Amino acid sequence: MRIILLFLFVAFYLPILAQDKNPKLITDRPDQTESASIVPLRSLQIETGFVFSNKETELTKQRSFAYNTTLLRFGLLKNLELRLGIEYLGDEISIKNTDTVNKLSGLSPVYTGFKVKIAEEDGWKPEIAFLGALVFPFTASDDFKPENTSANIRLSFANTLSERASLGYNIGAQWDGNTAVPGYFYSIVMGVGLTEKIGMFAESFGLISEDGTSEHIVDAGLTYLVLSNFQLDISGGLGLNDNAFDNFISFGLSYRIPN
């Protein structure tokens, strides 16, 4: 009996103790602002979830889904992580006052990129990281395949405001693979730790294109730290102008595999 109890202790209790010694779990979801933090060296972090959004115009109604929005992050060096992302997408577009419904589904292009730490936080000076990525069209289903390889670059900044509050903000540029016109991304997010396990955020983000179009969105959400390396999240947002989607809701999880 003692041997059985000892086995149960080793199998179930010691892994939890080991998780508690891991570095703090910092994720790039559920908000749209990428963190300025790098995953720990030789650690693999999995961030995945589901997004449902709506958009309605005078002529159409569109419902969009993103299933399994998976991002893999691997700490290659102390100040460098590699990133790989893919989604399974679905769109249902109906024309008002008709029976016409167009349904699309398939894999998104694979996202491959990196994040490199540029500077640690020092007083009022923010923590800074640079992100770059390419999105390859040949990896996508026909319904979601851009004409060319797309790319995006971003600078991420973070400031600690207090023991429980932080501020993050991004600026960047991206190319959608269909035109040579770039879009300029911005975001700013306030995060607050309500308890040791529960956090919340409020955010504003958007995309401004050189062709004069723009999208502006606000969102907010909650996170729950189940274990030191396992987090659940839920969030939702509203579009502020006609080009943006009307609303969205998302939920997901993040897990860092102990190394």
DSSP string, 55-78: EE-SSEEEEEEEEEEEEEEEEEET
Residue count of the chain, please give it: 259
Q: What is the pLDDT of residue 13?
A: 46
How many angstroms separate the most distant Cα atoms in the chain?
73
CA distance 40 to 75: 5
Q: Given a cut of 60, is residue 237 above it in pLDDT? A: yes
Residue where the block lists tokens 């080009």: 243
Confidence tier at 21 by pLDDT (50, 70, 90): low
Residue 207's SS3 state is strand
Q: Poorest-confidence range of 92-106, 182-196, 230-244?
A: 92-106
Judge contact between 187 and 177, C-beta under 8 A. no
CA distance 97 to 60: 9
- Structure confidence by residue, pLDDT tens digits, 114-146: 999 999 999 999 999 999 999 999 989 998 998
Q: Is the dihedral of CA 73, 33, 23, 256 positive or negative?
A: negative
Structure tokens belonging to residue 54: 């709506």
Indicate whether this model's pTM tops 0.75: yes
Structure tokens belonging to residue 161: 């405001």
Q: Poorest-confidence range of 19-23, 26-30, 139-143, 144-148?
A: 19-23
Task: State whether CATH 2.40.128.130 applies to domain 24-257.
Answer: yes
